[in-house]
Structure 1
């Protein structure tokens, strides 16, 4: 009676480690924007958007584009493996699918870069224009990416509480999710108000919170591997 679960746990543990490492790699690469403070980039972090770092014509576009491509590829691989190897529940299935969409949207961001201007600049769409996503495809793919990772975070967090598992997601993951949600509200409200409300800072907090949540998910997978396969 006790040998079955132990054999399953040992057999799946290497795969769990690989999935966790892929998610952690994605989290680190998605934080590549911090290189802005190391490289000689003439952008104001208070008012500039992260999409401007790898916009067409920027000197270090290849660095940030490569990091985003690795993020997308790592997440797409990890989510496919997680969906196939781990026990399927409704909420975790939603989480894996949303995380896959996040990876795909991030790669789409790379393939459809910003045209060397911020979304609020002339000709790039802005808060006063209806559906600014239609003015640049990159704005649409970025919106899809943020929406997808938000859905994934909420789905896995709800699953952690509902199934009473993955304490890392219930505690540390919820902190990152709360910070990211607050920054998102900041962006959505301030972007539709006149004046300057440090939208660049808000976006950096938002993306940083996403990376921290991904690290929490990676830690949950590798530390609590048995809970992902145990029917409970």
Structure 2
């Protein structure tokens, strides 16, 4: 008679097949995250639209400040993206397997979505309502407005999500794309964020506008990588949580 250990070794550890509706919801979550990542990149339109901004020494918040040309383009992009991420975060938390770091990641993603919506609604106010030129509004005007809180919460939340999902990918030995590509994007984003925080305390601007665009671009790219990872995991294994 084979022992219990031998029987366990001979019997593959197969989880029951995932219901079709769950698979569809997982694909939907991935789609929402991917679209949100693209929508959060709406700032690249500053290079296509006739906007008098200098990417070297202006922040992206100034593209959506009150009275700015094409403000609606950027506020709409952030609002829609934030809404999709909030829905994806809540759905992921409820649908995927309950593990500590994964839960933290989904909650942080939801908070990032909510903070992004608030970020769009509480846009910067120009010091001079008749002045629509970006170059003289300062690099950190949001430090004096509610926008400071929403922006800080958004950045803090997305980095918590990136770290939590990366830790989960290594700890649970799942989601290899996040363990490799996602990790490098996280490192680049962290380095650029450090660049911004250090340069803010030094005289001069040190290309802070460029730094922020790299930072936000890394966030958008990471969201797309997360979406791809969910799709690949669902396609290959039938489970992605």
TM-score (norm 2): 0.86
Quick one: which of 190, 194, 209 aligns to 2:218?
209
- Residue 221 of structure 1 and its aligned partner are, at CA, apart by 1.1
Which residue does the alignment assign to 1:222? Answer: 231
1:40-99 CA deviation, whole Å, 9 max, x = no partner?
000000100000000000110000000000111000111111111100100011111111
1:28 aligns with 2:38: yes
TM-score (norm 1): 0.89
Which residue does the alignment assign to 1:92? Answer: 102
Q: Is the 8 A contact 1:125 1:136 kept in 2?
A: no
CA distance in 2, matches of 1:6, 1:40: 55
CA RMSD of aligned residues (A): 2.2
Which residue does the alignment assign to 1:129? Answer: none
Unaligned runs of 5+ in 1: 127-131
Unaligned runs of 5+ in 2: 1-10, 128-133
- Residue 195 of structure 1 and its aligned partner are, at CA, apart by 1.3
Q: Is the 8 A contact 1:22 1:74 kept in 2?
A: yes
Q: Which has the larger radius of gyration?
A: 2
CA distance in 1, matches of 2:155, 2:208: 15
Q: How many matched pairs? A: 222
Which residue does the alignment assign to 1:13? Answer: 23
Quick one: which of 82, 89, 104 aligns to 2:114?
104
- Residue 11 of structure 1 and its aligned partner are, at CA, apart by 4.3
Q: Is the 8 A contact 2:105 2:162 kept in 1?
A: yes
- Residue 175 of structure 1 and its aligned partner are, at CA, apart by 1.2
- Residue 228 of structure 1 and its aligned partner are, at CA, apart by 2.6
